Amino acid sequence: MKNGVKTLKNFTVQKECLGRVIRLSIPAILAQISSIIMQYIDAAMAGSLGAKATAAIGLVSSTTWLFGGLCMASAAGFSVQVAQLIGAGQEEGARKVLRQALLCTFLFGVGLSVIGAGISHSLPLWLGGEPEVCKNSSRYFLIYACALPAVQLRHTAGNMLQCSGDMRTPSQLNILMCVLDVIFNSLLIFPVRHISFYGVAFTIPGASLGVAGAALGTALAELVTAILILYAVCFRSMALRLERHGTWHLEKKCIKTSFRLALPLALEHTILCGAQIAGTRIVAPLGTVAVAANSLGVTAESLCYMPGYGIGAAATTLVGQSIGAGEEKLAKDYARLSVILGIAIMTCTGGLMYLAAPRMFSLLTPDKAIRVLGTKVLRIEAFAEPMFAASIVAAGALRGAGDTLVPSVMNLASMWGVRITLSLLLAPRLGLAGVWIAMCMELCVRGILFLIRLFRGKWLKGKLI
């Protein structure tokens, strides 16, 4: 009888935990999906200009991910502290961390912007781009670099809201950013257009900036969203809104803890994106069609794995708050349930991606050769989605416990030891398909490594406060 009551109680607790994971995940998933839809529309808008325009953006995409990843790492170093402080009921301490985060990460974003602008002219040449795409590629990256302070503040403020338990506000604002990006892009990429709708003539203004217009539209959307999300966290958040008497002085313990958390993530993103850049160098000699298909394939696949990142964000919050409250078993339950949910959802999206691959590419580009090659590689990747989900969500859960060093090492070993090595071996024989076979195998290895780390439970001793 006692065992039956205990089993029923455990089932009820697990059900409640799963319900909370789902409630926190849904807004984040919707925001991630809307962000990818924005990338689809961006890619389709740029793709309508031809393969060279798509290749110009794709050439520097790995480097933009590098800089964006550094922004995310910088924000995570502070936001994990906020999650644990709120879990421990120390809201004033969380506000102190927020103030220091805004100062430090903004300065970091400015530094990244200066570096990015400085290398923008030479970067496409370093990546082995063909002469006809390098000029537009350089312009695109320069504009992106100038927007990095806004990108950094959006990540910082958004992470703070998420770790306080407010997933809805950053999700809504990220959806708004997608809408703004589409509007700005339509005005900046194309020339003035005259259309007729049910006999009524309209003139749509346009700046005819092409690839540069795509970058500028995204930069403006980032800036507007950063302003709105900063207002939300500083003045509207119940847990984090700032008060006049609060201090902006930097505290050694906070900065040291942030650095300890962020440094492995930053090194991970740097070396991972270095591997992606190396992958770009492997793909570049395969020709413009291969570069464009590779870039659009990454964009198309992202619709499949973005739910994993949404669930991972929820896992960071729930695990971080549970660790802060001293509830290690609850943190473990949240981590496991989040991973199971992520695997289930991404298995389904992987299957849908396999079936819908031709249609997805038909929306992204009118070029038949790119469509055929892109469909082929996207279907290869579909088989990796369950284990990719395991790595994404487990990483989010481990991050909430302050466990960033070991996961970073596992990511690096997997990327360089499996993906790059296999890509070098397979690309000369199988072309772009060989690169994506290597990617599929590497993601499966990565997922297994993260599941082993998660279920061993050594990460549960990661309390920071």
Cβ neighbours for 378, distance < 8 A, ≥ 6 positions apart: 297, 300, 301, 353, 354, 357, 360, 361
Cβ neighbours for 235, distance < 8 A, ≥ 6 positions apart: 241, 242
Tokens (6 digits) for 270: 């740097």
**Contact between 181 and 218 (Cβ < 8 Å):** yes
Cβ neighbours for 121, distance < 8 A, ≥ 6 positions apart: 138, 142
Nearest CA among 144, 127, 433, 461 for reference residue 294: 433
Cβ neighbours for 131, distance < 8 A, ≥ 6 positions apart: none
**Contact between 361 and 374 (Cβ < 8 Å):** yes
Tokens (6 digits) for 180: 């703004």
What is the pTM (predicted TM-score) of this model? 0.77
Distance CA 51, CA 55 (A): 6
Nearest CA among 285, 302, 269, 272 for reference residue 378: 302
Distance CA 453, CA 459 (A): 8
Nearest CA among 320, 338, 360 for reference residue 459: 320
In this structure, the number of other CB atoms found within 10 A of the CB of residue 11 comes to: 10
Q: Which residues of 29-76 form beta strands (DSSP E)?
A: none
Q: Dihedral, CA atoms, 374, 377, 380, 383, nearest 10 degrees?
A: -60
Tokens (6 digits) for 115: 């570096």
Distance CA 256, CA 259 (A): 5
Residue type at 183?
A: I
Please state the separation of Cα 135 from the chain's center in Å: 27
Nearest CA among 376, 374, 379, 377 for reference residue 352: 379
* CA-to-CA separations, 215 to 37, 85, 325, 367, in angstroms, rounded: 16, 38, 43, 22
3-class SS string, 128-174: CCCHHHHHHHHHHHHHHHHCHHHHHHHHHHHHHHHHCCCCHHHHHHH
Distance CA 231, CA 158 (A): 11
**Contact between 17 and 334 (Cβ < 8 Å):** yes
Q: What string of DSSP letters covers 33-45?
A: HHHHHHHHHHHHH
Would you state the pLDDT for residue 342?
92
Q: CA-based angle 382:448:376, to the nearest 5?
A: 15
* SS3 at position 241: coil
Phi and psi at residue 167, to the nearest 5°:
-85, -25
Would you state the pLDDT for residue 399?
87
Would you state the pLDDT for residue 5?
45
Rg of the chain over CA atoms, in angstroms? 22
Nearest CA among 322, 345, 437, 408 for reference residue 69: 408
In this structure, the number of other CB atoms found within 10 A of the CB of residue 165 comes to: 19
Residue type at 105?
A: T
Sign of CA dihedral 166, 169, 173, 175: positive
pLDDT (tens, 9 = 90+) of the chain, 465 residues, equals 545 445 545 656 677 777 778 877 777 777 667 666 666 666 677 777 777 887 888 788 778 878 888 888 888 888 888 888 888 888 888 899 999 999 999 999 999 999 999 999 998 888 777 887 888 899 999 999 999 999 999 999 998 998 888 888 988 898 898 889 889 988 998 888 777 766 677 777 888 888 889 889 989 999 999 999 999 999 998 888 887 777 788 888 888 888 888 888 888 777 777 777 788 788 888 888 888 888 788 878 877 888 888 888 888 888 888 888 888 888 888 899 999 999 999 999 999 999 988 888 887 778 888 889 989 999 999 999 999 999 999 998 998 888 888 888 898 889 889 999 999 999 988 999 999 999 999 999 999 999 999 988 888 775 555
Distance CA 74, CA 83 (A): 15
**Contact between 371 and 43 (Cβ < 8 Å):** no
**Contact between 161 and 169 (Cβ < 8 Å):** yes
